[in-house]
Amino acid sequence: MEIYLVRHTSVDVPAGYAYGQTDVPLRSSFEDEAEVVKKNLSGHTFDKVWSSPLTRCVRLANYCGYPNAEKEDRIKEISFGEWEMKSWDELSSDPRSEAWFNDWINVPAPSGESLQDQYNRVSRFLDEIRESGLQKVCLFAHGGVLACAHVYAGEYELKDAFKNVPSYGAVIKLELD
């Protein structure tokens, strides 16, 4: 089975902010970036296409010719909960952040998720796809989802996920048994 994972294009959010599941705008360079993604997907036919329901993914799926991509909550970015749209400096001053910074794999953000939570959600979805009998699928998703998919495929451990987040507009092919 082939899974093509597509990360959304660059967002119009200041550097150093946790935006996770917030529906943030895209940069004005969207069309130029999206055209590159579209070219990277040209010539491929997919049995099924899914998209995170967040606008940054849906807009890219539409641009690339997949307006009917099925929206799937399990491929949303990690939820930073109460920390959404706060700078890392602001998070550092939150007394609850020490536990998270010491073990972000297992400790969830306040009213949000841990990386393990996100990985479990993404893994359950990938398990379903593998069991579906589909041969070639495409997911328009987020950096954290793509990193979790790499962990799922055995390419690296969860502790290394944040070191391996693909760039905006990346198209990655995973082959799973």
DSSP-derived pairing of the beta strands 136-141 and 70-71: unpaired
Which segments within the chain are labelled E, that is strand?
2-7, 17-18, 48-51, 70-71, 86-87, 136-141, 171-175
Q: What pLDDT tens digit does each residue of the chain (177 aa) get?
A: 999 999 999 999 999 999 999 999 999 999 999 999 999 999 999 999 999 999 999 999 999 999 999 999 999 999 999 999 999 999 999 999 999 999 999 999 999 999 999 999 999 999 999 999 999 999 999 999 999 999 999 999 999 998 999 999 999 999 998
DSSP string for residues in 111-124: TS--HHHHHHHHHH
**Is 0.75 topped by the overall pTM?**
yes
Residues forming beta bridges with residue 7, ordered by sequence position = 141
